[in-house]
Structure 1
Amino acid sequence: DMNFQTGATTGNEGLFWLRKIKELDDNIHVIMNTAYGDIQLAVECMKEGAIDFLVKPWEKEKLLTTAINVRSIKESKKKIDHLDNTRMTLESDIQKEMGALVGQSKAMTKVYETIQKVAATDANVLIMGENGTGKELVARAIHQLSKRSKKNFIKVDLGSLSESLFESELFGHNKGAFTDAKNDRMGRIEIANEGSLFLDEIGNVEAKQQASLLSVLQNRQVTRVGANKPVDIDIRLICATNKDIGGMVDREEFRQDLLYRINTVELDLPPLRERDGDIEILANHFLKEYAKKYDKPIKKIADEAWDKLNSYPWPGNVRELQHSVERAVIMSDGDTLMADDFMIKEKKGPTTTTVTSLNVEDIEKEAILKAIEKHNGNLTSAAKTLGFGRSTLYRKMTKYGIE
């Protein structure tokens, strides 16, 4: 009630106790009740945190309905809080499982500096790099350091989405929109609202899907499949690809206007072979992690093993090194990892031959072999020398049987 003393009609006593209750526990839902109610007093109550306002005399059905509704609101809030806490815990666990960015090389120092700068903004980021270089780790680091860190980080692996699932997964759908649409469903973009959306393998998106995605990003609205009304969205977009997306634009395989939209800031991740000194730092990091995980007494890596690790080109980058250390820890019986514990083989570089043929394909194959040899197996640099995109180089290497 809002008035306790005889003759009191202002409601000040009720407001006083409402404030006291909210100070003790802001989660308590309070229904205010008075015979001297007006709009101004009701507004004042709501400003102070009341959940509802009743004017006497009230019918018992009205009071009962109000109480039931408030209880329902309270239970819904509990569920939402539980879901939020669960989400935050799961994201924290994912972060721990994936690990943190590790390395002190000059190349990685530049990456860290860029992450710090862009994380403080809402700029869209395009992360470029070979498979296994840690593009998702960088995306999560940007999110964790941003003002959206307490909101959702939603990843979409575009490389695994078929054309038929693309719009449903990203944009959502309404019940009955297609045969299997038995319920309304929010898309990944809508779920990421107020948080960060990470689109992995953006270079795999087909032309039609690129147009749909561009429309969403330009209008900041998404329309579910089978719906007519668009939903406003507020997302921070982070994309990643291992493809030469600039070359794809030149070949009209990727829309230039979409590229402009997604790469306000472009971040290039260096391959492991270009990160001087980081192999040892990373290997020791993974050794400590997996020795603890598998309860092994392994303390160090032998000098002969370091020679093997440092001379290997690591085409699978950090991911390959991580798996190699994990396997070595599992299989080792001693307290030191030896060279034989690491099941990696030096890949023989491509050998060149003198071409006497004037066949165009023979000449092209020879040029590719020489470019790869010149750059010590660095396919990115070889592709630039040849004037190819990296994906084009891979395709031609497969065509000519070059490993």
Structure 2
Amino acid sequence: MVLKEATILVIDDDVDVLTALRLLFKPLVKEVIIEKNPSNIGAQIDKKNFDIIILDMNFNGLVNTGNEGIFWLNEIKKIKPKTDVVLITAYADIDLAIRALKEGASDFLVKPWKNEKITNTISSLLKARKSNASDKKSSQLGTSAIIGESEAIKDVFLKLKKVAPTDANVLILGENGTGKDLIAKALHDNSNRKDKPFVKVDVGALTSSLFESELFGYKKGAFTDAKEDRVGRFEAANGGTLFLDEIGNITLGQQVRLLTVLQNRLVTPLGSNEAISIDIRLICATNIEPKVLADEQKFRKDLIYRINTVDIVMPPLRDRGTDITLLAKHFISVYADKYNKSQFLLDSGFISKLKKHDFPGNVRELQYVLERAVIMADSTSLKPEDLVFSSIERQTSKASTTTMNLDSLEKNAILTVLEKNKGNVSKSAKELGITRAALYRRLDKYEL
């Protein structure tokens, strides 16, 4: 919600304060109601649904408690518990205001206030309300913060809804930047474990020495720098969800240790002989293609079966059609708010240029491109020239495409020569102009 759509109630027994706030907010909000007598709060709330209530901390002894503001705050919360209440207080009442925050107030303002400060405070609360409402709507759909309505993303939502309430282990596949971490969080948030821990570990970034200590923990004295006991990530996630990102990058040795833990549901911290029972739901993610994971020289099949009860494939942004426009509008709004800029109009050429780009960096690249556009824009209308795509992503994409094409050409050439020579490696190597050892390496590379 934006400020101009808000309805505000101001309660203060000082007529000057009421007049000042009414004059301040009248041109900024949809409606501002002022009330001198706090005893009328209930009647005012019954008549209208207020987005924000601004409440004075001190009245003229109408309630004999010594802290009337907290009394009336509690009365408001009894009637409308989710209403944001902002308190107005004098310098001497700061301790009381802090206590009121603990009682459920959303914020407090100190007299005399600055107009810019009070409008910023109200705007921030309204934006938070909008964000919370959006999150609630998304979680009801089982999609957390994922934005999209394309057929490709709808297939993901459908599978997510079916899988999330179960305890099935899930493997999330997809290119970098497609939002695999959002799917992992959505699975947790819509599961029976949602009130328990969600622990994420980028296992691909862990060295062999750190792998076991991070995942399984250690006891004091287990190694030189172990100066105190440390709980591992498996134990920290007990009862909840453990998300292992970049699972495809761990070594065969690490895979063996992980498989043992998953089979036995027990972890033994380094330096300890006592195994700890664990109860977790496991979610893994990788950007490695399934055919690579299927290679037993790189990844154990028994571990794949263990972590992949169900797989969810995140589609690349280039396959998500109209989602590009939806995501663009979302990120532009977010960054306009972040950098205190007016909301932007999007030129048709701007959208057209976005749609023509293949986004090798996927949603993450889109996000960064739009943040830059918002920062650098000279007007409130975004035009094609405001879009500058990453040269890094272009080079990466071009390089990977070139590599793929060269590999394909080389593989086809080898197959052609081998067929011609009826599988004779020596003759084929001579015709290709390479040694027999070099040809054998290529045969192994292309699994021929």
CA–CA separation in structure 2 for the residues paired with 1:138 and 1:148:
15
After TM superposition, list the pairs within 5 Å mapping 1:4-403 onto structure 2.
100-344=145-389, 347=394, 363-364=409-410
CA–CA separation in structure 1 for the residues paired with 2:195 and 2:315:
29
CA–CA separation in structure 1 for the residues paired with 2:239 and 2:408:
54
- Compared CA separation, residues 366 and 342, structure 1 to 2 (3 A): farther
Q: CA deviation at 1:361?
A: 7.1
Q: Which amino acid aligns with 1:313?
A: D
Structure 2 residues not aligned, in runs of 5+: 1-131, 137-143, 400-405, 414-441, 443-448
Structure 1 residues not aligned, in runs of 5+: 1-91, 352-359, 368-395, 397-403
Q: CA deviation at 1:160?
A: 1.1
Q: CA deviation at 1:365?
A: 8.0
Q: Which amino acid aligns with 1:257?
A: D
Asked whether the equivalents of residues 245 and 254 of structure 1 are also in contact (C-alpha less than 8 Å), the reply is no
Q: Which amino acid aligns with 2:217?
A: G
TM-score (norm 2): 0.56
Tell me, what secondary structure is at the counterpart of 1:167? helix
CA–CA separation in structure 1 for the residues paired with 2:340 and 2:258:
47
Q: Which amino acid aligns with 2:363?
A: V
Tell me, what secondary structure is at the counterpart of 1:267? strand
CA–CA separation in structure 2 for the residues paired with 1:337 and 1:265:
42
CA–CA separation in structure 1 for the residues paired with 2:408 and 2:171:
37
Tell me, what secondary structure is at the counterpart of 1:127? strand
Asked whether the equivalents of residues 102 and 281 of structure 1 are also in contact (C-alpha less than 8 Å), the reply is yes
Q: Which has the higher contact order (CA 8 A, sep 6+)?
A: 1
Q: CA deviation at 1:113?
A: 0.8
Q: CA deviation at 1:280?
A: 0.3
CA–CA separation in structure 2 for the residues paired with 1:296 and 1:362:
49
- Compared CA separation, residues 303 and 258, structure 1 to 2 (3 A): same
Q: Which amino acid aligns with 2:410?
A: E
CA–CA separation in structure 2 for the residues paired with 1:251 and 1:150:
37
CA–CA separation in structure 2 for the residues paired with 1:304 and 1:332:
15
Asked whether the equivalents of residues 369 and 390 of structure 2 are also in contact (C-alpha less than 8 Å), the reply is no
- Compared CA separation, residues 287 and 258, structure 1 to 2 (3 A): same
CA–CA separation in structure 1 for the residues paired with 2:407 and 2:185:
44
Q: CA deviation at 1:300?
A: 2.1
Asked whether the equivalents of residues 139 and 238 of structure 1 are also in contact (C-alpha less than 8 Å), the reply is yes
- Out of 114-123 and 244-253, give the one that drifted further: 244-253
Q: CA deviation at 1:341?
A: 1.3
- Compared CA separation, residues 341 and 140, structure 1 to 2 (3 A): same
CA–CA separation in structure 1 for the residues paired with 2:343 and 2:293:
47
CA–CA separation in structure 1 for the residues paired with 2:272 and 2:307:
26
- Compared CA separation, residues 365 and 339, structure 1 to 2 (3 A): farther
Q: CA deviation at 1:350?
A: 6.5
CA–CA separation in structure 1 for the residues paired with 2:165 and 2:231:
28
Asked whether the equivalents of residues 298 and 334 of structure 1 are also in contact (C-alpha less than 8 Å), the reply is no
Tell me, what secondary structure is at the counterpart of 1:198? strand
Asked whether the equivalents of residues 132 and 316 of structure 1 are also in contact (C-alpha less than 8 Å), the reply is yes
TM-score (norm 1): 0.62
Q: CA RMSD in A?
A: 2.6
CA–CA separation in structure 1 for the residues paired with 2:167 and 2:157:
17
Tell me, what secondary structure is at the counterpart of 1:250? coil
Once the two structures are superposed, residues 144-187 of structure 1 have per-residue CA deviations (whole angstroms, 9 ceiling, x without a partner) of 00011111100000121111100000000000000000001100
Asked whether the equivalents of residues 308 and 339 of structure 1 are also in contact (C-alpha less than 8 Å), the reply is yes
CA–CA separation in structure 2 for the residues paired with 1:148 and 1:326:
35
- Compared CA separation, residues 119 and 345, structure 1 to 2 (3 A): closer
Asked whether the equivalents of residues 143 and 153 of structure 1 are also in contact (C-alpha less than 8 Å), the reply is yes
Once the two structures are superposed, residues 24-43 of structure 1 have per-residue CA deviations (whole angstroms, 9 ceiling, x without a partner) of xxxxxxxxxxxxxxxxxxxx
CA–CA separation in structure 1 for the residues paired with 2:175 and 2:361:
8
Q: CA deviation at 1:245?
A: 3.8
- Out of 244-253 and 138-147, give the one that drifted further: 244-253
CA–CA separation in structure 2 for the residues paired with 1:365 and 1:326:
42
CA–CA separation in structure 1 for the residues paired with 2:298 and 2:267:
24
Tell me, what secondary structure is at the counterpart of 2:160? helix
- Compared CA separation, residues 282 and 171, structure 1 to 2 (3 A): same
Q: CA deviation at 1:231?
A: 0.2
- Compared CA separation, residues 223 and 289, structure 1 to 2 (3 A): same
- Compared CA separation, residues 345 and 250, structure 1 to 2 (3 A): closer
Q: CA deviation at 1:331?
A: 1.1
Aligned residues: 266
Deviating 4+ runs (over 6 angstroms): 348-351
